[in-house]
Chain A
């Protein structure tokens, strides 16, 4: 029998519980892994309303209205104060539209038209050139309809008439 002093103590870490945790975590992450065509992280300063919609987001939002700012294609266009665009930033607008938003969207619409015209292979394809556009809009749920109407008016004047309003999807 070996004495206590000569015995060699071995300390081994039991890794099986850690393996269990990893397996459960991976199963959960794989289950919740998004297979939507577009995965988009919502801006930190923005809370979306909830919706029963089953229609997935198909493009990154072009207009993002956070609690304090309005972006068009990631470019800050105007400030938003208490759900309103300050009078000084409205610009020379028509019927309540926001001039800087209109200018930015008009520029995008013209670029889109030029690209569509350049890729149109036949005169028949040119029919698509004059088509009105669609915009994806992400807006904070606390903003009033007045702001939404102003943005829609600006977009309408820039020939965007279809709006895809982004909402958090509820599980049906």
Chain B
């Protein structure tokens, strides 16, 4: 009897099977958790300001001749206006169609303006009432954000006062000029 049992053991094939059911359980739980917590639309922000009255003293360079850059948006065209705060005012107007290509051209123009005037970091935006938000957002995008092919502009760190390279913006400060009390 004992001899027979030994023979059987020698002839048995030794198949080792991995029990993958616990793996599947873990994967299912992980999948459920990830699907519930996943956010498929990445959102970002475009920061703008509206003009406001302040009791703070005027900035030191308020009396200096400086360049102001404005954008006037209409349904069909966008106009960039540059002028100096003191004589000679030297006002210049550049018109662009309010289309994707037109806004690309406007972006190039704004980059060249910023390159020529690195101290000017503020832009004022005006718009007609019937321009839709999608269009306003596209114009703000073209005016505010730097493309990877654009030059890098210097910017003063407000905390340290040291000049740094601004990797993100062409015009970091955008004021919605149409909103005036």
Q: Which residues of A contact B (CB under 8 A)?
A: 15-16, 18-19, 22-23, 25-26, 29-30, 32-34, 36, 39-42, 48-58, 94-95, 132, 136, 139-146, 148-149, 152-153, 155-157, 159, 161-169, 172
Please, which residues of chain A bring their CB within 8 A of the CB of B38? Answer: 29, 32-34
Roughly how many angstroms separate A33 CA and B35 CA in the complex, as a whole number? 9
Asked whether B46 lies within 8 Å of A165 as measured between CB atoms, the reply is yes
5 nearest interchain CB pairs?
A49-B137, A146-B129, A141-B134, A53-B44, A29-B34
Asked whether A51 lies within 8 Å of B141 as measured between CB atoms, the reply is yes
Roughly how many angstroms separate A25 CA and B29 CA in the complex, as a whole number? 12
Contact of A18 among B24, B30, B179 (CB under 8 A): B24
**B31-52 to A contact mask, C-beta < 8 Å, 1/0:** 1001101111111111111111
Contact of A22 among B21, B28, B37, B136 (CB under 8 A): B28
Asked whether B42 lies within 8 Å of A34 as measured between CB atoms, the reply is yes
Roughly how many angstroms separate A148 CA and B134 CA in the complex, as a whole number? 12
Say yes or no: A95-B181 contact (C-beta < 8 A), given A29-B35, A29-B38, A32-B38.
yes
Asked whether A40 lies within 8 Å of B43 as measured between CB atoms, the reply is yes
Please, which residues of chain A bring their CB within 8 A of the CB of B179? Answer: 149, 152-153, 156
The contact sample of 18 A-B pairs, CB cut-off 8 A, is A22-B24, A36-B39, A39-B37, A41-B39, A42-B43, A53-B141, A53-B144, A53-B145, A55-B44, A56-B44, A57-B45, A145-B127, A145-B129, A159-B52, A162-B47, A168-B44, A169-B42, A172-B148
Smallest CB separation, A50 vs chain B (Å): 7
Main secondary structure of the interface of B (DSSP, over half): mixed
B window 119-146: CB within 8 A of A: 127-134, 136-138, 140-141, 144-145
Say yes or no: A19-B20 contact (C-beta < 8 A), given A144-B132, A169-B44.
yes
Say yes or no: A54-B168 contact (C-beta < 8 A), given A49-B138, A149-B179, A163-B48.
yes
Asked whether A26 lies within 8 Å of B30 as measured between CB atoms, the reply is yes
Contact of B41 among A95, A144, A168 (CB under 8 A): A168
B window 153-181: CB within 8 A of A: 168, 176, 178-179, 181
Contact of A141 among B30, B137, B147 (CB under 8 A): B137
Asked whether B52 lies within 8 Å of A156 as measured between CB atoms, the reply is yes
Asked whether A161 lies within 8 Å of B50 as measured between CB atoms, the reply is yes
Contact of A165 among B52, B137, B147 (CB under 8 A): B137
Q: Which residue of chain A has its CB nearest to the CB of B176?
A: A152
Contact of B134 among A33, A49, A57, A159 (CB under 8 A): A49
Asked whether A144 lies within 8 Å of B129 as measured between CB atoms, the reply is yes
Please, which residues of chain A bring their CB within 8 A of the CB of B73? Answer: 145
Contact of B181 among A139, A156, A165, A167 (CB under 8 A): A156
Interface centre among A50, A139, A141, A161 (most CB of B within 10 A): A161
Please, which residues of chain B bring their CB within 8 A of the CB of A58? Answer: 45
Please, which residues of chain B bring their CB within 8 A of the CB of A159? Answer: 52
Roughly how many angstroms separate A144 CA and B75 CA in the complex, as a whole number? 11
